[in-house]
């Protein structure tokens, strides 16, 4: 078992090649300290679900060392299973059972007595505010309700480590906030949560640390603030009327760093503001001299969206090489 101070998750050189040659994990290294929310980000097909499934012992890595709570997932998957919970990208609940029965069943699988499983299910269902629908068969649930019951089931065993693969995809904004509260409570109680999400705002809000995965490798890692700082300059966005867009583009090109991109359709010019507010003032001065009047101006520090795009932008061009190159 893990000693105090050890990471709760340690992945070294994990490789997973699927039949057909897709190298879903390509020597991935990752360390997660206990008691935090760790966010995994990455484009579609990056390897996030593959990693979660390996950590949750549903898949075996082809190479590398993967330890959860100090236990090797290849050598002793049964012991790993006793200390983890998983809510998957595709909710794995039994349609013919009620929500409550699903949650109780998972509790029983974790070895709780019937009474304890029932009590804990009631607590968990109240926590995710699904108690009203708890006694209906899951097949009558909406997509968002299924996700929430799947999450409730993953909590039934009070896991030491909880893996959540896109827990809030398709969940409405109010329920999403409820789930965030549940996750934060859990971490407050000492659970370690590893979650993937396509909602960068969610990662920013919840995750203490974030790992960005691309093509089966960890390409960047740190706190949300560290990732943003590493991405570099503040970004200046100027909304320009269509008729003046070409002029604005020319005028701003002389302003040191070239506009890093512009979206003619939405009439927005984006440039790196190397000198922050000074760049903003100079841009406005130049536009003014050319009689260009922006309809909107915004200067902002890089967001996680910017981090994500900067790290994974190449993909549109060489997306297909990933599998073909193996
Ligand atoms: N069972 C499988 N058989 C063959 N290829 C697979 C299998 N599972 C995943 N892959 C491939 O492995 C790669 C990584 O997939 P994975 O599901 O881990 O990505 P992901 O990061 O979770 O993506 P998404 O954001 O779309 O959920 C993809 O190219 C995918 O097509
Ligand atoms: Mg996935």
- DSSP letters for 15-30: EEE-TTS-EEEEEEEE
Distance 36 CA to ligand 1 centre (A): 26
Kindly identify the ligand whose nearest atom is closest to the C-alpha of 23.
Answer: 1
9-225: CATH topology: Rossmann fold (3.40.50)
**Ligand 1 nearest-atom number relative to CA 19:** 4
Class of domain 233-301: alpha beta
Mutate to test the pocket of ligand 1, among 46, 89, 325 (most ligand atoms within 8 A of CB): 46
Sole residue written with tokens 């012992």: 57
Best CA proximity match to 51, nearest among 186, 191, 192, 211: 211
Residue 5 near residue 309, CB atoms below 8 Å: no
Q: Comparing C-alpha atoms, which of 93, 57, 51, 49 is closest to residue 76? A: 57
**307 Cβ partners below 8 Å, 6+ apart?**
212, 220, 227, 228, 230, 231
**What share of the chain in percent tops pLDDT 70?**
90
Mean pLDDT of the chain: 87
Amino acid 89: pLDDT: 67
Q: Which atom of ligand 1 is nearest to the CA of 48?
A: 21
Position with higher pLDDT, 268 vs 218: 218
**pLDDT at position 151:** 87
More confident position, 193 or 268: 193
Whether residue 310 is predicted with pLDDT greater than 90 in this model: the reply is no
Give the pLDDT confidence score for residue 20 in this predicted structure: 92
The string of DSSP codes covering 87-99 is: E-SS----TTSBH
pLDDT level of residue 261 (50, 70, 90 thresholds):
low
Predicted pLDDT at 317? 46
**143-157, 290-304, 305-319: which has the minimum mean pLDDT?**
305-319
Closest residue to atom 4 of ligand 1, CA basis: 18
Inform me whether the pLDDT recorded for 14 exceeds 90: yes
d(CA 85, CA 163): 6
- Residue 155: CB atoms within 10 Å: 24
Candidate from 45, 53, 217, 321 with most ligand 1 atoms within 8 A of CB, to mutate:
45
Structure tokens given for 180: 């965030």
Domain boundaries, the chain: 9-225, 233-301
Residue 3's pLDDT band, with cuts at 50, 70 and 90, is low
Q: pTM for the full model?
A: 0.81
Residue 167 CA to residue 151 CA, distance in Å, equals 7
Q: Which of 175, 166, 199 lies closest to 89, judged by CA?
A: 166
Give the HSE-up count for residue 253: Cα atoms under 13 Å, Cβ half-sphere.
Answer: 8
pLDDT tens profile 71-123: 999 999 999 998 999 987 666 789 999 999 999 998 888 888 999 999 999 98
The number of the ligand 1 atom at minimal distance from the alpha carbon of 216 is 14
At 273 the pLDDT is 84
Q: Which atom of ligand 1 is nearest to the CA of 53?
A: 18
> Does 251 score more than 70 pLDDT?
yes
List all residues whose CB is within 6 A of at least one atom of ligand 1.
18, 20, 22, 24, 42, 44-50, 89
pLDDT at 234 > cutoff 90: no
pLDDT-above-90 percentage for the chain: 54
> If pLDDT is split at 50, 70 and 90, which confidence band does 309 have?
confident
d(CA 260, CA 24): 31
Q: Can you tell me the distance from the alpha carbon of 209 to that of 41, in angstroms, rounded to the nearest whole number?
A: 11
Long-range Cβ contacts of 20-25 (<8 Å, 24+ apart)? 20/323, 21/323, 21/326, 22/322, 22/323, 22/326, 23/215, 23/216, 23/322, 23/323, 23/326, 24/50, 24/216, 25/50, 25/51, 25/54, 25/61, 25/64, 25/216, 25/217
Q: Is the pLDDT of residue 255 over 60?
A: yes
């Amino acid at each position: 078992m893990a000693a105090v101070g050890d990471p709760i998750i340690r992945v070294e050189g994990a490789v997973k090649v699927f039949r057909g040659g897709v190298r879903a994990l390509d020597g991935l290294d990752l360390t997660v300290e206990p008691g935090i929310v760790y966010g995994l980000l990455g484009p579609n097909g990056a390897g996030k679900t593959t990693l979660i499934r390996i950590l949750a012992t549903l898949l075996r890595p082809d190479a590398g060392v993967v330890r959860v709570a100090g236990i090797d997932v290849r050598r002793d998957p049964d012991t790993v299973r006793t200390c983890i919970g998983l809510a998957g990208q595709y909710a794995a609940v039994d349609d013919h059972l009620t929500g409550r029965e699903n949650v109780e069943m998972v509790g029983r699988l974790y070895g709780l007595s019937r009474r304890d499983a029932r009590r804990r299910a009631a607590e968990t269902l109240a926590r995710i505010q699904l108690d009203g629908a708890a006694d209906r068969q899951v097949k009558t649930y909406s997509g968002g309700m299924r996700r929430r019951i799947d999450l409730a089931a993953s909590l039934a065993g009070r896991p030491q480590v909880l893996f959540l693969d896109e827990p809030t995809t398709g969940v409405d904004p109010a329920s999403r906030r409820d789930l965030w509260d549940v996750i934060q409570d859990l971490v407050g109680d000492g659970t370690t949560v590893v979650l993937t999400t396509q909602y960068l705002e969610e990662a920013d809000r919840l995750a203490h640390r974030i790992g960005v995965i691309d093509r089966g490798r960890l390409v960047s890692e740190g706190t949300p603030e560290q990732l943003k700082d590493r991405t570099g300059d503040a970004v200046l966005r100027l909304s320009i009327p269509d008729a003046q867009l070409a002029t604005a583009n020319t005028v701003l090109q002389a302003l040191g760093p070239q506009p890093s991109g512009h979206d003619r359709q939405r009439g927005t010019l984006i440039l790196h503001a190397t000198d922050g507010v000074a760049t903003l003032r100079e841009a406005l001065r130049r536009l003014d001299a050319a009689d260009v009047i922006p309809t909107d101006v915004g200067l902002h520090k890089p967001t996680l969206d910017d981090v994500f795009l900067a790290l994974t932008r190449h993909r549109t061009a060489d997306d297909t090489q990933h599998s073909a190159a193996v």
